[in-house]
Amino acid sequence: MSAVAGKRIVLGVSGGIAAYKAVEVCRRLMDGGAHVLPVLTRGATRFVGRATFDALASEPVRMSLFDEDDPIPHTTLGQTADCVVVAPATARVIGAYAAGISSDLLTATLLATRAPVVICPAMHTEMWEHPAVAANVATLIQRGVHVVGPEAGLLAGGDEGLGRLSSPGDIVAALGRILAQAANPPSETPDMVGLSVVITAGGTREPMDPIRYIGNRSSGKQGHAFADEAASRGAEVTIVTTVGRSGPPGATVVRVDTAAEMAAATTAAAADADMVIMAAAVADFRPVDPVGVKLKKRDGVPDVELEPTPDILAALGASKPEGQILVGFAAETCDVAANATAKLSGKGADYIVANDVTAENAGFAGDTNEVVVLASDGRMLPIGLRSKRDVARAVLDLVLADRKRRDGRQDPSSGGQEHSRYVSNTVSQEIQ
Ligand code: CTP
């Protein structure tokens, strides 16, 4: 899925000959599934017609602070945008933005947003290199504004040099990276730098024939939330997933379908990992002999023989390298604590994250979860209802705190008292 999909993107177009390329930027953003809101300056309309953007974008062109139905179009645009991109950005727009002057709808919107802003300058080399423009651009960069381009090449009037608008492809690619980064900001506590983490996500599908499969309702959201959280804390992440989603920036994503594929990919990646998190719902049974052609209704109810799939978590638990942390999950519909306790010891995991998948607002499809973490030393720690990302954060907080204490204990210079105090304080307390 494109990183711009579903994002509200204000496309500011100011008055330069490169304005015609903004039409292509608009079209590419629309193709990527973005919601594009074009804002043109009066100067822009000397180079491109507003009808072009009216026809291509998600909403009609806006140009004025005063002629719109909305009495405050700049704040509405600024507050609801996921990103504002200005392509081309003229020296005037850059200067007004840097100086905090709102002389039209576009500059007012730039000042009224807290979303990421991307400016794509285009002007003649002499203007780009003028100390005033250079200082304005430096000010904007210092304030966190992203600047894409300009490039060297052919300019208006047959001149050549630095100042040409970046290509629409490069602009849209940069926007995708910036939006992905904004969705997954680096953690304030990068406490997983140097740790490699393997995470599984989604539900495996075991084919009966080329069309049908045995599967489950897992959405992969909890596993992907672990990947996002671990990556934002600096971990080197490998996500083995059945879900067609991109991973966090920098992660290795391995797409699999079946339990056997997940077993092979996870076992290979886990060999050198510091932590393995088995969040996937792995099918327990698969058809022994999936047929190569569609099973036909006219042939009656198929007699599908099933066999167990490999238990990936149990295999990892049985061959766990020294120091590796193994986190399993338990999806239960009743007797959560008892079933999860059995899985903890039965599979050789250090932690089991257990949840009642039938509970309201918890389980597979939603964006929230409510779990209990069982640790191999007998602690049982509830994590109350919260977003899946926050569940991931709380579990990793716990695991990393334990790891730090364990490493501290191995260091003879630090006493073991802190650990026992922590255990007695946290049993049955909710993790914040
Ligand atoms: N798991 C696994 N391989 C399997 C089945 C499960 O690695 N073939 C892992 C899951 O990723 C999860 C844990 O084992 O981390 C528990 O999965 P769950 O479906 O809750 O339990 P099962 O082992 O399938 O046992 P049961 O069906 O009895 O609940």
Predicted pLDDT of residue 411: 65
Cβ of residue 278 lying under 6 Å from some atom of ligand 1: yes
Cβ of residue 263 lying under 6 Å from some atom of ligand 1: no
Which pTM value belongs to this model?
0.65
Predicted pLDDT of residue 300: 93
Cβ of residue 312 lying under 6 Å from some atom of ligand 1: yes
Predicted pLDDT of residue 412: 61
Q: Which residues contact 414 (CB under 8 A, 6 or more apart)?
A: 408
Residue 361, sorted as left (phi over 0), alpha (psi -120 to 50) or beta, turns out to be left
Predicted pLDDT of residue 413: 59
Cβ of residue 226 lying under 6 Å from some atom of ligand 1: no
Ligand 1 centroid from CA 282, angstroms? 6
Return the residue whose CA atom lies nearest to atom 4 of ligand 1.
311
Of the residues 278, 325, 353, 395, which should be mutated to test ligand 1's pocket, given the most ligand atoms within 8 Å of the CB?
Answer: 278
Of the residues 282, 309, 320, 364, which should be mutated to test ligand 1's pocket, given the most ligand atoms within 8 Å of the CB?
Answer: 282
Cβ of residue 203 lying under 6 Å from some atom of ligand 1: no
Question: CATH says 8-183 is which class?
Answer: alpha beta
Ligand 1 centroid from CA 245, angstroms? 22
End-to-end CA distance of the chain: 33
Predicted pLDDT of residue 417: 42
Would you list the domain boundaries of the chain? 8-183, 196-426
The pLDDT averaged over each successive group of 10 residues in the chain (432 residues) is 87 95 97 96 94 96 82 84 96 97 94 95 94 93 91 82 92 91 75 97 97 94 95 96 89 96 98 97 96 93 94 98 97 92 96 90 81 94 89 96 87 48 38 52
Cβ of residue 326 lying under 6 Å from some atom of ligand 1: no
Predicted pLDDT of residue 416: 42
Predicted pLDDT of residue 362: 78
Measured between alpha carbons, how far is residue 42 from residues 29, 157, 420 in Å?
Answer: 23, 22, 69
Catalytic one among 216, 355, 361, 425?
216
Nearest to 367 by CA among 385, 394, 340, 393: 385
Predicted pLDDT of residue 418: 39
Ligand 1 centroid from CA 330, angstroms? 7
Predicted pLDDT of residue 430: 52
Q: Which fold has domain 196-426?
A: Rossmann fold (3.40.50)
SS (H, E, C) the chain: CCCCCCCEEEEEECCCCCHHHHHHHHHHHHHCCCEEEEEECCCHHHCCCHHHHHHHCCCCCECCCCCCCCCCHHHHHHHHCCEEEEEEECHHHHHHHHHCCCCCHHHHHHHCCCCCEEEEECCCHHHHCCHHHHHHHHHHHHCCCEECCCEEEECHHHCEEEEECCCHHHHHHHHHHHHHHHHCCCCCCCCCCCCEEEEEECECCEECCCCCEECCCCCCHHHHHHHHHHHHCCCEEEEEECCCCCCCCCCEEEECCCHHHHHHHHHHHHCCCCEEEECCECCCEEECCCCCCCCCHHHCCCCCCEEECCCHHHHHHHCCCCCCEEEEEEEECCCHHHHHHHHHHHCCCCEEEEEECCCCCCCCCCCEEEEEEEECCCCEEEEEEEEHHHHHHHHHHHHHHHHHHHHHHHCCCCCCHHHHHHHHHHCCCCCC
Cβ of residue 19 lying under 6 Å from some atom of ligand 1: no
One fold for both 8-183 and 196-426? yes
CA 87 centroid distance within chain? 26
Residues 27, 154: Cα–Cα separation, whole Å: 23
Which ligand 1 atom lies nearest to the CA of residue 312? 7
Predicted pLDDT of residue 182: 81
Predicted pLDDT of residue 278: 98
216 among known catalytic residues: yes
